[in-house]
Chain A
Amino acid sequence: EDQVTQSPEALRLQEGESSSLNCSYTVSGLRGLFWYRQDPGKGPEFLFTLYSAGEEKEKERLKATLTKKESFLHITAPKPEDSATYLCAVQVRGGSYIPTFGRGTSLIVHP
């Protein structure tokens, strides 16, 4: 069965303290992997799509990378406004176009 696992479940950082969030997947074949940001009481906000191992995407302090088994979302010198839940979703090759979401990592950045 296809599965998406995100770790850690929660992460607390000090402002400026860089770290990485992990999304590991066990799917029969990956069509695409998506990262979203979700603020409390809001809908997910699209960040990145990655398609193949070795691919990287960047946006401000965020950089997403992809291997054959997992993706990392690196946060460099985070600020309090980066506090949110970060969701990973995978789209399986040869199957539905509908991506399956992981449970997310809740990030809190303290000033």
Chain B
Amino acid sequence: EPEVTQTPSHQVTQMGQEVILRCVPISNHLYFYWYRQILGQKVEFLVSFYNNEISEKSEIFDDQFSVERPDGSNFTLKIRSTKLEDSAMYFCASSGTGGENYGYTFGSGTRLTVV
């Protein structure tokens, strides 16, 4: 069964450092997403990406965040200058069509720890 692959599974970084989280969405999917989940809290939307541009973003997704699809397979989330409060699980997801009638396929996540 096709799956969304995320690397690394765990990243520890110093406050103020830049991190790049990587995702390989399902190959024939068109819509890509980043979500985060702070420990014990709910899954929160960050950004959606379609046709090589951001289609929607939340208030969390400020100027410190950026996304990129550098080639035909990878989808990345960059945090420019990490803060302690950026510590969370970051999930990439993809879907075949907009409207999401069939739900998203999520990756297993990257646990980001900012120290």
Residues of A within 8 A of B (CB): 32, 34, 36, 41-47, 49, 87, 89, 91, 96-104
Contact = CB atoms under 8 A, between A and B. Distances in A.
Interface stretch (B62-70, B73-81, B93-101): B93-101
Nearest to B103: A46
B56 A96 contact: yes
Interface residues of B, number: 25
Given A98-B56, A101-B43, A102-B42, A46 B104 contact: yes
Contact of A42 (B41, B98, B108): B108
A97 B106 contact: no
A43 B106 CA distance: 5
Given A42-B108, A42-B109, A96-B56, A103 B103 contact: no
B107 interface: yes
A43 B109 contact: yes
Contact of B103 (A36, A41, A98, A100): A36
